[in-house]
Amino acid sequence: MLKLSAQPAWTLAFIAGILAVPIEICSQQSVVWQLDTSVPLTYYIAEALPEAGTSEGDRILARWALEAWARQTDSSIELEPGPEETATIRVYWVPSGVGLYGEMRSRITEGKRAADVFVHPNTDGLGRDIALEARADPLFRDTVVYLTCVHELGHAFGLSHTSDFDDIMYSFQYGGDFVAYFKRFRDQLGMREDIRRASPFSEGDRATFKALYP
């Protein structure tokens, strides 16, 4: 298991500093933009943060989510691990806010657009129904974390929220049965490895992504 001590103290302070900056999340995430994929897209996935409820293997879920988006384009998006300081996409694990699954914040690094994704992996903080289902079914819990990663990475790539319940980019602000939203993906799984093989995307998600990254 990855230890909290392996994550530098300055990194934790950095995350806290970013999250302390007030923003309008919905308007920020509705901005359509593109990452530079003409060169390898570098990424950094933070190590496990036990106090945030991270489980062993969550970093793999984040990597699978990133790879899932990269497969949606006809052209090749090359992914490479990179240093935290300069990686184009960075994924961090943070303690849950009330009902908040995750968020994305844009930034500029080396003169190019980049993104920080913050995921709240503790399903106990996501409402009673989600919490109970996740406690009873580890694959449901992994589904919630994985789809949260996919959704927030979609924002990192430039996709905005939608009002279509079928989309991975659907905004929960529109309401609906959130347990059912996650279970339709969970029901495709027989084992954890199936997560990387099952598609979390609707036709609308694919079409939007291909319009940005032909």
* 132: pLDDT strictly greater than 90: yes
What is the reported pTM?
0.85
CATH number at residue 111: 3.40.390.10
Residue 7 in domain = no
Residue 12 in domain = no
In tens, the pLDDT along 94-128 reads 987 655 799 999 999 888 999 999 999 999 989 99
Number of domains in the chain: 1
Residue 3 in domain = no
Q: Give the count of beta carbons closer than 10 Å to the beta carbon of residue 75.
A: 9
Residue 115 in domain = yes
* 133: pLDDT strictly greater than 50: yes
- Looking up tokens 């109970």 gives 132
In tens, the pLDDT along 168-178 reads 999 999 999 99
Q: Which of 126, 135, 134, 151 is nearest to 186 (CA)?
A: 134
Q: Which of 108, 119, 102 is nearest to 46 (CA)?
A: 119
* 43: pLDDT strictly greater than 60: yes
Given this model, what pLDDT does residue 49 score? 84
Confidence of residue 51 (pLDDT cuts 50, 70, 90): confident
Q: Which amino acid is at 159?
A: L
Measured between alpha carbons, how far is 164 from 14 in angstroms, rounded to an integer?
35
Q: Which domain holds residue 40?
A: 24-212
DSSP class of residue 43? E
Residue 87 in domain = yes
